[in-house]
Amino acid sequence: MTLDPAMTGDRTDPHAQARTARQQPFLLHSMSVFHEMFKILFTYKKIESVLEVGVESGQVSSIYTQLGASKVYCIDPYPTTELRETLAKNPKLELVERPSPQVLAELAAADLYVLDGDHNYAVLHGELTYLLKHAPDAVIALHDVLWPWSRRDLYYEPTLLAGDAKHEVSFEAGPTIWHDELTPAGFVGHGSYSVAVEAGGERNGVLTAIEDAIAEADDDWLFVIVPAVFGMGVMVRKDAPFAKKMLDALKPYTSSKLLAMMENNRIAMYTRVLQLQYEAVAAAENHDRFAEEIAHQRVEIERLHGDLARQSHELQVLREQNAQLQRQLRDPDLAAEPNIGTVLHQLSRVAGKQIRKARNGS
């Protein structure tokens, strides 16, 4: 029996699996996880050229050259410095800084297309309409064919789409598994994309675009889904010589109820984590607001203490003057000094001040 220690650990290294687990990104989302499926595509069709739409960090691009491609066109209108550096290391990778679908007609037909750019009906439908007509011998792989973008458009920013190609959007809220409406605790673009407010209906979402494009191409294409990590789709023409063998080889993945169940569990847990994070941030903000309010109240209490001390002192002076006055009234000999008129004058000044303060409420 041969076990993979990275998968199982062993008696002397029982933490190997946990180590492997914590080295993964918290949310798997790159198509690089589909290495096994790409290997099957390359096994059943000779693939020399690849056109990858939507490249992001470029971590998938070199997989195609490792599997045998001699040229990969990496289409991304918004390349980062990291992407430029990654692609520059491999001369078989060529960055094309143009948006899809417009760019497709400018490049020669490829053997494999990987569509993972703008995840909305208008762009996907445009890409597929072009490819099903002009690249009938190609294999087309697609990402995000399942929740959340299967039946809801996402629009990368800045978008080139005209207003009528888009649904009503939200920038501040995103989808969650836990209810049907968007929420600020869901998959929110934070400025990099907006999402359609409503899911479903016509011309909305990646999967809806795939269904329509296939129907419009006389249903000549087969489409299967690997139900993991947001869903990988594979499209081949029904009469392609490699179609049956390729799709048969993919079947353990495409027919796996276990994979589908684990994906649903993953997105449910992840969006619960997003919600908990959101609530934790909101609680911390509340805490900060309370702390500020308490500090403000403390200053106010100190000011009132100061006022109270001053007024107590003035009251004390008044009491003493009053006592003096009483003594003078009882014993007129004392009245000669100090002058009773002066005392009364002082008394009325202090009393007037107190009355004014009381009127002003301070």
Ligand X SMILES: C[S@@+](CC[C@H](N)C(=O)[O-])C[C@H]1O[C@@H](n2cnc3c(N)ncnc32)[C@H](O)[C@@H]1O
Q: Which of 17, 20, 43, 59 binds ligand X (CB under 6 A)?
A: 59
Among 37, 44, 49, 54, binds ligand X (CB under 6 A): 54
Window contacting ligand X (CB under 6 A); options: 37-45, 57-65, 217-225, 292-300: 57-65
87 binds ligand X (CB under 6 A): no
Pick one of 37, 40, 50, 53: the residue that binds ligand X (CB under 6 A). 53
Considering only the stretches 40-48, 112-120, 262-270, 300-308, report the one whose residues sit in contact with ligand X under the rule CB under 6 A: 112-120
Contact between 127 and ligand X per CB under 6 A: no
Q: CA separation (Å) from 231 to 50, 54, 148?
A: 20, 16, 10
Q: Note whether 60 binds ligand X by CB under 6 A.
A: yes
CB of 303 to ligand X, least distance (A): 56
For ligand X, the binding residue among 123, 182, 195, 246 (CB under 6 A) is 123
Token duo for residue 6 = 């990275």
Output 37 or 123, the one with its CB closest to ligand X: 123
- Per rule CB under 6 A, is residue 189 in the interface with ligand X? no
Q: In this structure, what token pair is assigned to residue 108?
A: 């020669």
Q: Work out whether 99 is an interface residue with ligand X (CB under 6 A).
A: yes
- Using the minimum distance from each CB to ligand X, give the nearer residue, 156 or 223: 156
Q: How far apart are CA 328 and CA 246, in angstroms?
A: 118
The stretch near ligand X (CB under 6 A) out of 52-60, 179-187, 276-284, 334-342 is: 52-60
CA-to-CA distance for 339 and 317, rounded, in angstroms? 17
Taking the least distance from each CB to ligand X, the nearer of 116 and 153 is: 116
Question: In the complex with ligand X, which residue's Cβ is closer, 44 or 73?
Answer: 73
Give yes or no for residue 129 binding ligand X (CB under 6 A): no
**100 is a contact residue toward ligand X (CB under 6 A):** yes
Say how far apart CA 164 and CA 157 lie, in whole Å: 16
CB nearer to ligand X: pick between 80 and 348: 80
Q: Are 205 and 151 in contact (CB under 8 A)?
A: yes
Least separation, in Å, of the C-beta of 203 and ligand X?
17
Q: Which of 116, 124, 148, 186 binds ligand X (CB under 6 A)?
A: 116
Q: Does 263 bind ligand X (CB under 6 A)?
A: no
Rule CB under 6 A: say whether 153 interacts with ligand X: no
Kind of pairing between the strands at 112-115 and 49-53: parallel
Should residue 78 be labelled a site residue for ligand X when binding is judged by CB under 6 A? Answer: yes
Strands 221-226 and 193-196, sheet pairing: unpaired
Give the pairing of strands 193-196 and 93-96.
unpaired
Does 174 interact with ligand X (rule: CB under 6 A)? no
**Residue (118 or 263) nearer to ligand X, CB:** 118
Question: How big is the site for ligand X, counted in residues (CB under 6 A)?
Answer: 21
Binding segment toward ligand X, per CB under 6 A, in 49-57, 85-93, 170-178, 214-222: 49-57
| 30 interacts with ligand X by CB under 6 A | yes
Name the residue nearer to ligand X (CB basis): 208 or 328. Answer: 208
Applying CB under 6 A, among 9, 20, 77, 340 the residue interacting with ligand X is 77
Chain residues binding ligand X by CB under 6 A are 30-32, 53-57, 59-60, 75-78, 99-100, 116-118, 123, 156
